[in-house]
Amino acid sequence: MEKFTSHTGTGLPLRRSNIDTDQIIPAVYLKRVSRTGFEDGLFAAWRQDPQFVLNLPQYKLATILITGPDFGTGSSREHAVWALQDYGFKVVIGSRFGDIFSNNSGNAGLLLAKVSHEDVEQLWKIVENHPETEITVDLEARSITASDGFTTSFTIDDYTRWRLLEGLDNIGLTLRAEDKIAAYEANRPSYKPTTIPVQTGS
C-alpha cells in the first residue's frame, strides 16, 4: 500500500444520501478476477444520464468526492473502493459511511475524511460555485483546507490513520503476533467445528 500523507486536488459534489455499494458499482461489474480496471463500473447506472455530476466537464479531473450521509452502505464488495480509486479518487469526504465500506477503504488505501454534514454542505457550495477550487486534505494534521479560505478538521480513527501514513499492510502487522495466534489455537476446544469433510449421506 502506498503511503498517504496529504492530497491536493479538486472536488466533486455528489448531492445524494444513502448511496449503497450497488450504486457505486453494480453487480455486473464485479465479475472480473483482476484487481484493476473497475473504473468503468463506477456509478454506471447514474452515469448514463449526461447531467450526472460525474459527466460534467468541470469535474472531470476531480480527485476528491464530497458526498451526502450514509455513503457505502449495503453489500460488502470492496470493488466499490477499487472503482473509486481506479477512476482517480483519492479521498471521500462525507458525514457517515457504511461499516464494511469504511474497513475496506482503510485496507485499500482510500482516505475517508469524516466531517459534519454542515461542512459537507459548505464544501458542496464551494465546488459548485467554483469547481476549480483546490482542496487539500492533510492526513497528518487531519485537516481540510480549500483555496478560498475554508478550513475544517476531519475525524479518522488513529489506527487507520497510522496505517495509511505508514503505508502498512495489515497482514504483515498481524503476523508479528503469530505466536499468540498459535497459542490461541492450541487452546481451541475440541467441540468447535472444522470443515474437514464428514460423511454427509446422499
Q: Which is nearer to another protein, 151 or 184 (CB)?
A: 184
Q: Which residues bind another protein (CB under 8 A)?
A: 16-18, 20, 22-23, 26-28, 30-35, 45, 68-70, 73-79, 81, 96, 98-101, 103-104, 107-108, 157-159, 162, 170-171, 173-175, 177-178, 180-181, 184-185, 188-200, 202
175, with CB counted inside 10 A (0-12, 13-18, 19+), is exposed
Rank residues 116 and 174 by Cβ distance to another protein and give the closer one.
174
| Cell, residue 153 | 478538521
Between 32 and 60, name the residue whose CB sits nearer to another protein. Answer: 32
Minimum gap (Å) between residue 182 Cβ and another protein: 10
Alpha-helix residue ranges (DSSP H) falling in the chain: 21-24, 44-47, 79-87, 99-108, 117-129, 158-166, 170-175, 178-186
Distance CA 118, CA 44 (A): 28
99 or 140: CB nearest another protein:
99
User: Shortest distance, CB of residue 75 to another protein, whole angstroms?
Assistant: 5
- State in angstroms the smallest separation of the CB of 103 from another protein: 6
All three cell numbers of 119, joined, read 461542512
Cβ distance to another protein smaller for residue 101 or 146 = 101
Which three cell numbers mark 21? 455499494
Distance CA 169, CA 2 (A): 10
> CA–CA separation, 53 vs 28, rounded Å?
22
Shortest Cβ distance from residue 201 to another protein (Å)? 8
Supply the minimum distance, in Å, between the C-beta of residue 147 and another protein. Answer: 28
